[in-house]
Amino acid sequence: MMDLSEPTMDYSNLRRQITFMKKSFFDQGYLDEQFNQLEELQDESSPNFVEEVVALFLKDSPRLLSNIEQTIGKYPQDFYRLDSLVHQLKGSGSSIGAVRMKNECSVFKAHCNDRNLEGCRRSLQKMKREHATLKQKLESYFQLLRQVGPREHAVNSRK
């Protein structure tokens, strides 16, 4: 129900901010079409679906990154295991539309294939940075969405 005490100006400002923020994620290449697909899957039966999936990704991916780091540090190198871990990260990243992470995973996998340890190390550093940036952006985005409240989600706003 409409909360009449809330000034509509603030509300539409918020909505504008949210739309703009989301557009910037797409324009700067952080997210791709898959993110829109997630929003399409959100409905009355799962009203917080996008936030929940993203939260799950942000919860699980640090552990994966840490496993990757540990595996890189091992001697002798286990490129097969490294590739498997990066493969998993690529899958989960692509499931939420995290296109930069997905692309860096592909680069990482190529280094594993070439048994290029230095390349793997560089990729890992890049991925950690990408991950931190993505996490910060998405958390800000959902924080804004929560302020708008459950009456409306950014489902209809497109790129």
Partner 1 sequence: MATMGGDRRQMMEDVAEDKFPEGLRILVVDDDRVCLMVLEALLRRCKYQPTTVMDAKTALRMLMAGKQQFDLVITDVRMPDMDGFKLLELIRLEMDLPVIMLSVDCDKKVVMKGIEHGASDFMVKPVRTHELKN
CB of 6 to partner 1, least distance (A): 31
Contact 141, 157 (CB under 8 A): no
59 or 118: whose CB is closer to partner 1? Answer: 59
Contact 133, 127 (CB under 8 A): no
Q: Considering only the stretches 7-15, 48-56, 70-78, 140-148, report the one whose residues sit in contact with partner 1 under the rule CB under 8 A.
A: 48-56
Site for partner 1 in 89-128 (CB under 8 A): 90-92, 94-97
Per-residue contact flags (x/-) with partner 1 for residues 18 to 47, judged by CB under 8 A: ----------------x--xx-xx----x-
13 or 47: whose CB is closer to partner 1? Answer: 47
CA–CA separation, 52 and 49 (whole Å) = 5
User: What value, to the nearest 5°, has the Cα angle with vertex 150 and ends 146 and 152?
Assistant: 100
CA–CA separation, 103 and 139 (whole Å) = 21
CB of 29 to partner 1, least distance (A): 16
Contact 25, 137 (CB under 8 A): yes
**DSSP reduced 3-state for 99:** helix
95 or 116: whose CB is closer to partner 1? Answer: 95
* Residues touching partner 1, count (CB under 8 A): 22
Give 56's contacts (C-beta < 8 A, 6+ positions apart). Answer: none
- Which residues are near partner 1 by CB under 8 A? 34, 37-38, 40-41, 46, 49, 52-53, 56-57, 60, 84, 87-88, 90-92, 94-97
